[in-house]
Amino acid sequence: MQPPFSIQPVLENTAIKMLPLQPADFADLYAVAADPKIWEQHPNKSRWQQTVFATFFEGAIQSGGAFKVVDNATGATLGSTRLYDYNPADNSILIGYTFYGTTSWGTGVNLAAKALLLNYVFQFVDTVRFHIGADNVRSQIAIQRLGARKVAEQEITYYGEQPKLNFVFELPKQVWAARPASTQAATAVSASS
């Protein structure tokens, strides 16, 4: 019997663990987020500032779907991502609000986290969407490599911030399932709510 759907399970593979974000995680996550380079292409380029990041973090906690991404080998906090806007009517959910420290860039951490999330949510939904800032070319390229396609442009109001233009990308379950085994290699060793 399949466990019930949760938008904040614990997910893990050999490289990383994704844990439900807790208020006590602020200091560790801000230590990663305090680098202005991380936010250069994000919709709000000043999230590296502690007061701005505090608003972002509060939105993450209130969402009930945010994760802290941790390196399994060292226990270091690598970044964060989020599941949100689950829509049972059209059997979809969004993944977004993702950032990682620059030391994680190009290491496969983002792919490992996305694979964990996608392998988990596609047990329950048929479509995953992503809001990506219009200027965030790096994330747009990364999500297209997973098989997602741009389907719309939308003004998004992030928690406590002004509306910003985002591109909406969509990844159907059947497209993800058809990906090569190497992409699927980052699958969950375990998942619990």
174 belongs to a structural domain: yes
CATH number, domain with residue 175: 3.40.630.30
5 belongs to a structural domain: no
192 belongs to a structural domain: no
For residue 157, give the nearest of 131, 139, 128 by alpha carbon: 131
- pTM score of the predicted model: 0.88
Alpha helices in the chain (DSSP H): 26-33, 50-63, 109-121, 137-145, 173-177, 181-184
Q: Looking at the predicted structure, is the pLDDT value of residue 186 above 60?
A: no
4 belongs to a structural domain: no
Rounded Cα–Cα distance for residues 126 and 192 (Å): 20
For residue 35, give the nearest of 99, 96, 101 by alpha carbon: 101
Question: 28 with 68: CB under 8 angstroms?
Answer: yes
131 belongs to a structural domain: yes
Rounded Cα–Cα distance for residues 78 and 31 (Å): 10
* Total number of domains in the chain: 1
144 belongs to a structural domain: yes
Average pLDDT over residues 108-127: 94
pLDDT in tens, 121-168: 999 999 999 999 888 888 899 899 999 999 999 888 777 777 788 899
- Which domain, by its residues, includes 14? 10-185
193 belongs to a structural domain: no
Angle CA(95)–CA(65)–CA(71) in degrees, nearest 5?
80
147 belongs to a structural domain: yes
Query: 10 Å Cβ neighbour count for 181?
Result: 7
pLDDT in tens, 40-72: 887 787 889 999 999 999 999 999 999 999 999
